[in-house]
């Protein structure tokens, strides 16, 4: 019995030992599995780290490339800044040269715009106001050609017995010292001692001279007349848009439209003109008087009736001038003549044959425009901006027609330069035409000079420019080069 009991105890011990060993083995296995799991996690983490490291290396390369690109861009910007600085310096230099070129008539003298002159200077310039140098006479007085400080000028001297007196003299000085435009006569200065005005000299006389062929003055071709119509309109657009005071000419007529050496027209004689402060409302600005003055035939009938001078008064006068340029007839009753000529098949019978063969469409459009502007009812007349909107496409179409004649008559030797080729500012053939925000084309250096002087308005319309960007007019440049070569 004892033996069996011992054997059972021994067997039990063996089982307990085996159980402990099994437990140890299980624990060891679990530890091994845990280690394997941890090892796998470490490997995964290592792989993730390697991937992140590769990404960081890529980002590092990209960042280094970006830094390199930034350095290149910085260098380019520095170069561009240097180029712009050089362009600015060149522009300033060009502007100075342009001012010098534009003011060549003052190059050998000390004259500046709106200079003051003494009576003795004017007497010396005109040989004591010799009749031999008299080139015109009007309500204000006489106009003399003179040589003043090495410059040829026109000197208008007040007649002491004239109905126009010192107020008209001062009025013209005030206006012409405030407004400058390619189609407005340039006032050089004045002499208060005798109420004299000194202007740039315009050698081709007045538009009236060429309409009547006075003193064998050459007639004007239809091309020249069409261009002159556009120039008069632009001058009026500038005056009527001038700020803060718009200007009403009040005595617009062919005698007061002068022609320079290139037959460019310029408005003159502002003695009875009026400056009127622009209203902030939509009401029409006007000047009221109980003594209306003007020239019969060009005089706004409603100004005579009401004593109210408005911009529409200039539009009426402009309409009469358009009809005169079209027909060559006197101003009196010209609207009736043109209305009759608007009957089917009769228009060509009233146009001025001395201007050449008028294109029918052009003649018809100008006749309609002239009649519309010269309407007796002021309310039915367009304003000058609307007139320009009508004229501009007509002028462009006319300029594209091939012209075989010169600016004046066939005896005029100077070759006609198409008006589109002439810069409105410098009045010279353009070499680098650019389109500005106002839709007009200018010589690049001329319009850049205008903008660099701080102007934010159009030099042609006096309206604010929406931007200062310039677009090269390649088509016009090619046309100019082809024309010059031909």
CA-to-CA distance for 319 and 367, rounded, in angstroms? 9
Element (H, E) at 449: helix 444-452
251 given a catalytic annotation: yes
Which entry of 251, 314, 352, 438 is annotated as an active-site residue? Answer: 251
Strands 265-267 and 257-259, bridge-based pairing: antiparallel
What is the three-class DSSP state of 331?
coil
Q: 164 and 271 in contact (C-beta within 8 Å)?
A: yes
What pairs with residue 206 in β-bridges?
Answer: 258
Give bridge partners of residue 142 from the DSSP assignment: 137, 157
Distance CA 150, CA 108 (A): 6
Q: At what angle do helices 444-452 and 2-102 cross, to 10 degrees?
A: 100
Q: How far is CA 225 from the centre of its chain?
A: 22
What lies within 8 Å, CB to CB, of 64 at 6+ separation is: none
Q: Taking Cα atoms as reference points, which of 153, 185, 191, 208 lies closest to residue 325?
A: 208
C-alpha R_g of the chain: 42
CB atoms within 10 A of CB 302: 20
Beta bridge partners of 136: 143
Identify the H or E element spanning 147: strand 141-148
Chain centre distance of CA 436: 6
Nearest one of 379, 393, 372 to 319, comparing CA atoms: 372
Catalytic residues: 251
């Amino acid at each position: 019995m004892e033996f069996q009991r011992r054997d059972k105890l021994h067997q039990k011990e063996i089982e307990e030992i085996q159980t402990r060993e099994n437990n140890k083995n299980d624990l060891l296995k679990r530890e091994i599995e845990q280690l394997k799991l941890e090892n796998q996690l470490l490997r995964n983490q290592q792989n993730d780290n390697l991937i992140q490291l590769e990404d960081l290396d890529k980002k590092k390369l990209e960042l280094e490339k970006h830094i390199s690109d930034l350095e290149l861009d910085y260098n380019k910007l520095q170069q561009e800044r240097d180029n712009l600085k050089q362009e600015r310096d060149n522009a300033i230099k060009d502007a100075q040269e342009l001012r010098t070129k534009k003011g060549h008539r003052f190059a050998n003298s000390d004259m500046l715009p709106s200079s003051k002159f003494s009576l003795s200077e004017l007497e010396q310039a005109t040989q004591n106001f010799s009749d031999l140098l008299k080139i015109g006479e009007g309500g204000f007085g006489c106009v003399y050609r003179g040589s003043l400080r090495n410059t040829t000028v026109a000197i208008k001297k007040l007649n002491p017995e004239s109905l126009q007196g010192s107020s008209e003299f001062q009025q013209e000085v005030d206006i012409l010292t405030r407004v400058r435009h390619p189609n407005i006569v340039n006032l050089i200065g004045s002499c208060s001692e005798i109420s004299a005005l000194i202007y740039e000299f315009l050698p081709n006389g007045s538009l009236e001279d060429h309409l009547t062929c006075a003193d064998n003055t050459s007639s004007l071709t239809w091309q020249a007349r069409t261009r002159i119509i556009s120039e008069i309109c632009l001058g009026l657009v500038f005056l009527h848009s001038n700020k803060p005071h718009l200007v009403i000419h009040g005595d617009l007529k062919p005698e007061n439209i002068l022609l320079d050496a290139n037959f460019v027209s310029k408005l003159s004689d502002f003695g009875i003109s009026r400056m009127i402060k622009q209203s902030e409302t939509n009401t029409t600005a006007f000047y009221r008087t109980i003594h209306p003055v003007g020239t019969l035939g060009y005089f706004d009938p409603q100004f005579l009736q009401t004593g109210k001078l408005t911009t529409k008064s200039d539009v009426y006068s402009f309409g009469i001038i358009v009809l005169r340029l079209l027909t060559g007839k006197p101003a009196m009753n010209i609207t009736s003549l043109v209305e009759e000529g608007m009957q089917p098949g009769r228009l060509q019978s009233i146009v001025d044959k001395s201007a050449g063969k008028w294109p029918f469409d052009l003649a018809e459009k100008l006749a309609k425009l002239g009649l519309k502007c010269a309407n007796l009812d002021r309310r039915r007349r367009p304003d000058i901006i609307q007139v320009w909107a009508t004229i501009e496409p007509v002028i462009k179409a006319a300029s594209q027609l091939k012209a075989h004649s010169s600016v004046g008559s066939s005896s005029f030797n100077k070759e006609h330069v198409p008006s589109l080729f002439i810069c409105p500012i410098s009045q010279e053939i353009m070499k680098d035409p650019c389109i500005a925000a106002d839709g007009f084309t200018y010589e690049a250096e001329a319009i850049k000079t205008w903008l660099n002087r701080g102007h934010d308005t159009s030099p042609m319309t006096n309206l604010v420019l929406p931007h200062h960007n310039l677009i090269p007019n390649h088509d016009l440049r090619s046309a100019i080069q082809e024309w010059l070569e031909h």
